[in-house]
Structure 1
Amino acid sequence: MTKPIIAITLGDPAGVGPEIVVKALKNKEVYKACNPLVIGDTGVLEKALNITNISLGLKAVSKPEEGKYSLGTIDFIDLNNIDINTLEFGKVQAQSGKAAFDYLSYAINLALDKKVTAIATTPLNKESFKAAGVPYIGHTEVLESLTNTKNPLTMFEVKGLKVFFYSRHVSLRNACELITKEGIEEFAVRCEKALKVLGIEKPHMAIAGLNPHSGEHGLFGDEEVKYIYPAVESLHEKGVDINGPIGADSVFHQALLGKYDAVLSLYHDQGHIATKMVDFERTISLTNNMPFLRNSVDHGTAFDIAGTGKVSEVSMIEAILLAAKYGPGFLK
């Protein structure tokens, strides 16, 4: 059986992205699961190998089918877009923001053309994007625009626990204001569809409560009474298997133990804290509801340790392996 080709972007060259990529690509399990293809820059990769004291060959290719994909050599597409002599680790730079965008957009186009199965991304820096004049905030916004996808669906996975996010980068006040009966219903239907693509035929989901103890029937907060309970009842009528709202202090643990296939988190930190406390390094972000799968490490550019070789590659390995596991399902 042909192994899936996973496009791996270097992210912001001034961050830890290149280091975690070269570290991950010395792992034999990665090559057992897929054919990894890096989208990056020769000088950046050479620098990362030097920093991490890793001895791997580099093979530049012009298209995915030219790769040999054997442990010991990194196959990569060289966009030649960084002046390595002026690159400064741990600093916001326009050239780094532009390069990170170029890597990502190139990988997206490969995936849209079905030249690669999925994408595994490394961190970029929002300030570097801004310095470069890139008109997007981050990965999700770029993916949304370049794939013409309305509101891509973010899911975290760690040790089998799957968590979807109703809202992402908005204030807590705005996150509460965004909750509506119609919004919850539409969100749950999309989550169910995403789980089926990931291979779960009959998803059993739970939705977390917004307020402590789900508001205790309106004693402290009425969002559950006004919007969430009615949405769940309506979803049941449509045949969607979903429980809740269930207090956020217990529902994630229940799902980790296998009671639910996924939890619907109602705002950013609610689900982020729940997953990252299970295992920070192995919490992986998956972007669903697109023509292909995009996975990402769930940490930032770590400018404070960039260029030192200290960063762990565990999250990068996990992201690549999950891309290989789930990516083919998006192409059916």
Structure 2
Amino acid sequence: MIKETTRPTLPLAVTMGDPAGIGPEIVARMFLRRPAQRRWIVVGDPLVMRHALAALDPSARMRRITTPADARFDDGALNVLLSSECVARPQVGQVSAESGRAAHAAITSAIRLAKAGTIRGIVTAPIHKEALAATGLPYPGHTEILAEQAGGARVAMMLANEDIRVVLVSIHCSLRDAILRADFPAQMAAIRLACTGARALGIEHPRIAVAGLNPHAGEGGLFGDEETRIIRPAIAQARSEGIDASGPWPGDTVFMQARGRRFDVVVAQYHDQGLIPVKYMGLAQGVNITLGLPFVRTSPDHGTAFDIAGQGIADPSSLETAFDYALRLTTGATT
């Protein structure tokens, strides 16, 4: 469950992401672009972060630390907490097990810090799913790692920008599996977490629209019966708990209605149903918030961008938005 406030004196932790992608670059660029807002640490590989920082500003300084207590925020140096140590910088733009291991180490180190209460929350830079798979780790993404490390908590992904917020019933799985996973418990978990997440963002009485699984929300059973068998009963249960949920609404129109301020959150049934409308509206202001964890975690709404990694042109705007959301969720502040 998202905590709305925590100790504001603690730093946020930003993981470096996959060292072969744009993660280290956008983390370094965010640091350089926000000189008045540097009460945070990077969790990652010092060699990788030193190279990323120097490529943008050769005069910029970095401090290697082993605990958040070692960090200083008054001398203009980037604090990097050691989570892995590469002998050489991984090949930029290439999938490798070495990069996957380094990215995973940064994530798990940040989670340990969050669970220990030594940081305010976590902002994660992008990782590459193939690199994780190359290590033999059984995780399709950040969310699954976070859920397992948090004790198997029931979590959900919220994608948000200034216009719409979307919570997913299922995340990283095939479409066939997504249909099977869209059962009553999954519907209830997503609706409840959508309500909790919206309230944590300051929406006192969130209006939650639940999208249908089938075209036209099943068209009264003509195109499938999941809406009548599963989704509608879940909505009724949620309403009996005091949640303002409605639907199931057709997936091809409900996001337009949310953008028109009829709804505060849309519960989407599967990954692409929910993420396409959010990402179509632009990646720069999109943010991913993991709901259901005992600590705050946000991330940018884009991937590792191997095609532009190492070129010095990656835009940190989505990472900055994720950072601002983490501040908002932990202190109520936006700066």
TM-score by length of 1: 0.90
Query: What's the CA shift for 1:159?
Result: 1.0
Contact 2:284-2:317 within 8 A present in 1 as well: yes
Partner of 1:101: 104
Match of 1:157 in 2: 160
Match of 2:173 among 170, 174, 195: 170
Aligned mate of 1:22, from 25, 28, 31: 28
CA shift for structure 1 position 94:
2.2
Matched, 1:6 2:9: no
Change over 3 Å in CA distance of 1:179–1:2 after alignment to 2 = closer
Q: Which residue of 1 aligns with 2:277?
A: 274
> Could you tell which deviates more after superposition, 6-15 or 73-82?
73-82
- Report deviation, 1:56: 2.3
Larger deviation: 319-328 or 54-63? 54-63
* Offset of residue 44 of structure 1: 0.8
How far the C-alpha of 1:190 sits from its partner, in A, is 3.0
Please tell me the residue identity of whatever aligns with 1:7. A
224, 228, 232: which is aligned to 2:227?
224
The 1:257/1:135 distance shift into structure 2, 3 A limit, reads same
Note if 1:82 corresponds to 2:86: yes
Q: Is the 8 A contact 2:154 2:189 kept in 1?
A: no
Aligned to 2:54: 50
1:4 shift after superposition: 4.9
Does 1:212 find its partner at 2:215? Answer: yes
The answer on 1:62 being equivalent to 2:74 is no
Distance 1:230 1:54, change over 3 A: farther
Q: Post-superposition shift, 1:51?
A: 3.0
Distance 1:71-1:154 versus aligned 2 partners, 3 A rule? farther
Give the TM-score normalised by the residue count of structure 2: 0.89
1:314 aligns to 2:317 (yes or no): yes
Amino acid at match of 1:128: A
**SS across alignment from 2:221:** coil
2:141 to 138, 146, 170: 138
For the structure 1 residues 219 and 130, does the alpha-carbon distance in structure 2 shift closer, same or farther, using more than 3 Å as the test? closer
Structure 2 vs 1, CA of residues 71 and 191 (structure 1 numbering), >3 Å: closer, same or farther?
A: farther
Q: 1:203 maps to which residue?
A: 206
Give RMSD over aligned pairs.
Answer: 2.2
Residues 143-173 of structure 1: per-residue CA shift (max 9 Å, x gap): 1121113332211111152110001112222
Structure 1 residues 301 and 236, CA, compared in 2 at 3 Å: closer, same or farther? same
Q: CA deviation at 1:127?
A: 2.4
What is the identity, as a one-letter code, of the residue corresponding to 1:24? M
**What is the letter of the counterpart of residue 163 of structure 1?**
V
Change (3 A) 1:197 1:102: same
Aligned partner letter, 1:215: G
* Per-residue Cα deviation, 1:194-213 (whole angstroms, up to 9, x for no partner): 33334333222111122222
CA displacement at 1:80 relative to structure 2: 4.9
For residues 249-264 of structure 1, what are the structure 2 equivalents within 5 Å?
249-264=252-267
Deviation for aligned residue 1:325 = 0.9
1:16-60 alpha-carbon deviations (Å, 9 max, x no partner)? 1100100111222x844x622101222211211233346422122
Compute the displacement of 1:10 (Å): 0.6
Separation (CA, whole Å) in 2 of partners of 1:4 and 1:315: 23
Aligned-partner Cα distance in 1 for 2:158–2:58: 33
Q: Which moved more, 1:309-318 or 1:176-185?
A: 176-185
2:330 to 313, 327, 330: 327
1:191 positional shift: 2.4
Partner of 2:247: 244
Deviations 1:247-286 (A, max 9, x none): 2222212222322221101110011001111222221111
Percent of pairs with identical residues: 36
Q: CA deviation at 1:242?
A: 0.6
Rounded to whole Å, the distance in 2 between the matches of 1:68 and 1:258 is: 43
Contiguous gaps of at least 5 residues in structure 2: 1-6
